[in-house]
């Protein structure tokens, strides 16, 4: 299927980055929708800042940056966002009830040929597909943070997802400059989070038990395991609240206690120590040296 126009639902941490990639790399016309003007404004601000960094580094020209911005069309109207597009990428908060409610509404307005792809990092694609009017045209399209830089996309098949949908989303991902992997079975957490979450959680246990300082835990993983970023710093980038939501979904779906989030994470969430987005988590992001 030829894709000319894309809608991204959600202008937040992931949504604005996915929007930028679609406009900048894919050269698609992109409708970016959210429920409040302040979310749209913040998303556009982050896109502008990211494009400026690319221009300053010589990755983009000023003209290419302006052209990418010209392909982005922010809106508060969901119907307007999805009714004439070929691909809809849902990037709302990692909550099954909210996602299914949004996608049920999307299904009422979208063209019959449109593919619906969820950027969920843990929620069942089969369950999400059942909330739409097109489970055969619904799949997971899980980008990684930040989407502008991370090359991986997990493409997840739901129980009713068609081969044609998977093939189309794979080709779209390649056009976006990504390296797609196909998750053939709809399993909680897919590939990366199923592997990563217990590892990050164990690093939190080390910090909570006072075994080592967060900086040294991260340094050990960076130098000893050749990780580009330590698990606790990565957790601050993901967001403590997002991580807790992901772990709870996977734990509920699998029944496996190894995914249970450490209590320290719950306390940090209650204290609004969410990581980079709130200014503090395991690190103080208000400091200029971070």
What's the whole-number mean pLDDT along residues 156-173? 97
Whether 121 has a pLDDT exceeding 90, the answer reads no
Question: 91-110 in b/e burial notation, b at 16+ Cβ within 10 A?
Answer: bbebebeebbebbebbbebb
Length of the chain: 290
What band does 123 get if pLDDT is binned at 50, 70 and 90?
confident
5-183 folds as Rossmann fold (3.40.50)
Q: Please give the pLDDT value at position 95.
A: 86
Phi then psi dihedrals of residue 272, to 5 deg: 60, 30
Give yes or no for residue 145 having a pLDDT over 90: no
Give pLDDT, residue 249.
85
The residue-averaged pLDDT of 233-249 equals 91
State pLDDT tens for residues 46-83: 999 999 999 999 999 999 999 999 999 999 999 999 99
Q: Give me the catalytic one of 65, 121, 201, 245.
A: 121
Give the predicted TM-score (pTM) of the model: 0.86
pLDDT at 282 over 80: yes
Those residues with Cβ within 8 angstroms of residue 199's Cβ, 6 or more apart along the chain or in another chain: 231
Active-site residue (options: 118, 168, 193, 278): 193
Distances (CA, A) of 116 to 13, 20, 100, 137: 20, 18, 12, 6
Q: Is 278 a catalytic residue?
A: no
Mean pLDDT of the chain: 94
CATH code, 193-278: 1.10.1040.10
Tokens for 183, please give them: 């998750």
Marked catalytic residue, from 50, 142, 262, 278? 142
- Cα 110 from Cα 97, distance rounded (Å): 20
Which run of H or E residues covers position 126? Answer: helix 125-131
Strands (E), 158-262: 179-183
* 65 in active site: no
Per-residue pLDDT of 212-239, as tens digits, reads 999 999 999 999 999 999 999 999 998 9
What pLDDT is stored for residue 122 in this prediction?
83
State residue 60's pLDDT score.
96
- What is the C-alpha to C-alpha distance for residues 163 and 185, in angstroms, rounded to an integer? 13
Using CA atoms, how far apart are residues 117 and 11, in angstroms rounded to an integer? 15
Which of 23-27, 32-36, 242-246, 271-275 is least confident? 242-246
Residues 6+ apart with CB under 8 A from 273: 240, 280, 281
Distance in angstroms (rounded) separating the CA atoms of residues 86 and 240: 34
Domain range annotation of the chain: 5-183, 193-278
User: Residue 290 — pLDDT band, cuts 50, 70, 90?
Assistant: low
> For residue 96, what pLDDT is reported?
86
Cα–Cα distance, 234 to 250 (Å, whole number): 19
CA distances from 175 to 42, 65, 182, 220, 279 (A): 27, 18, 16, 36, 35
The sign one gets for the Cα dihedral 57, 177, 240, 90 is positive
**Residue 188: is its pLDDT beyond 90?**
no
Is residue 154 part of the annotated active site? The answer reads: yes
Q: Compute the average pLDDT of residues 6-32.
A: 97
Catalytic annotation, pick one of 50, 154, 245, 278:
154
* Cα 137 versus chain centre, distance: 20
The secondary element (H helix, E strand) that includes residue 5 is strand 5-9
Q: Is 177 a residue whose pLDDT tops 90? A: yes
């Amino acid at each position: 299927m030829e894709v000319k126009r894309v809608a991204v639902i959600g202008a937040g941490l992931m949504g604005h980055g996915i929007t930028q990639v679609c406009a900048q790399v894919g050269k698609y016309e992109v409708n970016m929708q959210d429920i409040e003007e302040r979310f749209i404004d913040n998303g556009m601000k982050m896109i502008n800042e990211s494009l400026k960094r690319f221009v300053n580094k010589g990755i983009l020209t000023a003209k290419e940056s302006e052209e990418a911005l010209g392909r982005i069309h922010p809106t508060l109207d969901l119907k307007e966002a999805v009714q004439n597009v070929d691909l809809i990428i849902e990037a709302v908060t990692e909550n099954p009830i909210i996602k299914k409610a949004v996608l049920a509404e999307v299904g009422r307005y979208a063209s019959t040929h449109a593919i619906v792809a969820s950027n969920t990092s843990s929620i069942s694609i089969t369950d999400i597909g059942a909330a739409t009017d097109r489970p055969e045209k619904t799949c997971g399209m899980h980008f990684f943070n930040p989407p502008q830089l991370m090359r991986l996309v997990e493409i997840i098949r739901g129980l009713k997802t068609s081969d044609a949908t998977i093939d189309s989303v794979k080709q779209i991902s390649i056009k976006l400059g990504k390296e797609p992997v196909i998750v053939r079975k709809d399993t909680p957490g897919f590939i990366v989070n199923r592997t990563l979450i217990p590892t990050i959680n164990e690093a939190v246990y080390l910090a909570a038990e006072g075994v080592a300082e967060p900086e040294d835990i991260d340094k050990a993983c960076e130098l000893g395991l050749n990780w580009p970023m330590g698990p606790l710093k990565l957790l601050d980038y993901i967001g403590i609240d997002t991580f807790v939501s992901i772990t709870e979904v996977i734990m509920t779906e699998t029944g496996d206690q190894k995914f249970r989030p450490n209590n320290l994470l719950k306390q940090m969430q209650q204290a609004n120590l969410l990581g980079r987005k709130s200014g503090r988590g395991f690190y103080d992001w208000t400091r200029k040296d971070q």
